[in-house]
A and B are shown apart, each in its own frame.
Chain A
Amino acid sequence: MKSETRLNDHGRLVTVIVACVGLTLGGVVMQGLGPRIAMAGDNKILPAHACQPEEDPEYTIFSARYLENDLGAEQTYWCPVLRDDTQSELEFVRVRVENRGSSYKRPECTVHSVSVGGTFTDSEYEESPSTTGFFSLEFPLNGFTEYDNGHFVIECTLGDEDRILSYRTNESP
Chain B
Amino acid sequence: MSRLTHVSLFVLAGLAGASAGALVDGSPHAAARSRHELVALANELARRHTQVERGDGTRRAEAEAAEDDVSREGPALDELIEHEREIAERRAAVITAAAERETLDPSWSAAAEHRIAEGLAAHGPPGVALVSSTCKTTLCIVELVHPPGDPGTEHVNWLPVFGLPRGFFVRHPPQPGRHARTMAYLARKGYSLPLAESNRRGPERWLVQGINWSRKERR
- Docked Cα-Cα span, A17 to B170, in Å, equals 68
Top 5 A-B residue pairs of the complex, sorted by shortest distance between their CB atoms: A11-B25, A15-B21, A19-B17, A143-B192, A22-B13
With beta carbons under 8 angstroms apart, the residue of B27, B159, B215, B216 that contacts A8 is B27
- Docked Cα-Cα span, A88 to B33, in Å, equals 54
By a beta-carbon cutoff of 8 Å, the part of chain A in contact with chain B is: 4, 7-8, 10-12, 14-23, 26, 30, 33-34, 37, 87, 89, 108, 110, 115-127, 141-150, 155, 157
26 contacts between A and B (CB under 8 A): A4-B27, A4-B29, A7-B30, A12-B21, A16-B21, A18-B17, A19-B17, A23-B13, A30-B9, A34-B1, A108-B160, A115-B88, A116-B77, A116-B84, A120-B169, A120-B170, A120-B171, A123-B168, A125-B159, A125-B164, A141-B218, A143-B194, A143-B195, A143-B218, A146-B215, A157-B157
When distances are taken between beta carbons in the complex, the residues of chain B under 8 Å from A10 are 24-25
- Least Cβ–Cβ distance between B36 and chain A, in angstroms: 13
Contact count A vs B, C-beta below 8 Å: 158
Q: Which residue of A lies closest to B216 (CB)?
A: A89
Judging by beta carbons under 8 Å apart, are B157 and A26 in contact?
Answer: no
Judging by beta carbons under 8 Å apart, are B29 and A22 in contact?
Answer: no
Judging by beta carbons under 8 Å apart, are A121 and B160 in contact?
Answer: no
Majority secondary structure of chain A interface residues (helix, strand, loop or mixed): mixed
- Docked Cα-Cα span, A14 to B94, in Å, equals 72
- Least Cβ–Cβ distance between A51 and chain B, in angstroms: 15
Q: Which residue of A lies closest to B20 (CB)?
A: A18
- Docked Cα-Cα span, A138 to B88, in Å, equals 26
In which size bucket is the chain B interface?
Answer: 35 or more
Judging by beta carbons under 8 Å apart, are A116 and B218 in contact?
Answer: no
Q: Which residue of A lies closest to B153 (CB)?
A: A118
Judging by beta carbons under 8 Å apart, are A148 and B18 in contact?
Answer: no
When distances are taken between beta carbons in the complex, the residues of chain A under 8 Å from B13 are 19, 22-23, 26
Q: Which residue of B lies closest to A24 (CB)?
A: B13
Q: Which residue of A lies closest to B10 (CB)?
A: A23
Q: Report B207-219 CB contacts with A as 1/0, cut-off 8 Å.
A: 0000001111111
With beta carbons under 8 angstroms apart, the residue of B6, B30, B166 that contacts A123 is B166
When distances are taken between beta carbons in the complex, the residues of chain B under 8 Å from A146 are 215-217
When distances are taken between beta carbons in the complex, the residues of chain A under 8 Å from B167 are 122-123, 125
Q: Report B175-219 CB contacts with A as 1/0, cut-off 8 Å.
A: 000000000000100001111000000000000000001111111
- Docked Cα-Cα span, A92 to B32, in Å, equals 57
- Docked Cα-Cα span, A125 to B20, in Å, equals 58
Judging by beta carbons under 8 Å apart, are B9 and A14 in contact?
Answer: no
When distances are taken between beta carbons in the complex, the residues of chain B under 8 Å from A127 are 160
When distances are taken between beta carbons in the complex, the residues of chain A under 8 Å from B9 are 26, 30
Residue B147 at the chain A interface, CB threshold 8 Å? no
Q: Which residue of B lies closest to A34 (CB)?
A: B1
When distances are taken between beta carbons in the complex, the residues of chain B under 8 Å from A123 are 157-159, 166-169
When distances are taken between beta carbons in the complex, the residues of chain A under 8 Å from B170 are 119-120
Residue B131 at the chain A interface, CB threshold 8 Å? no
Given the interface pairs A8-B27, A19-B16, A89-B218, the reply to whether A143 lies near B88 with Cβ below 8 Å is: no
Judging by beta carbons under 8 Å apart, are A7 and B25 in contact?
Answer: yes
Judging by beta carbons under 8 Å apart, are B16 and A22 in contact?
Answer: yes
- Docked Cα-Cα span, A38 to B193, in Å, equals 32
- Least Cβ–Cβ distance between A82 and chain B, in angstroms: 16
Residue B46 at the chain A interface, CB threshold 8 Å? no
- Docked Cα-Cα span, A135 to B20, in Å, equals 50
When distances are taken between beta carbons in the complex, the residues of chain B under 8 Å from A34 are 1
Residue B91 at the chain A interface, CB threshold 8 Å? yes
When distances are taken between beta carbons in the complex, the residues of chain A under 8 Å from B21 are 11-12, 14-16, 18-19
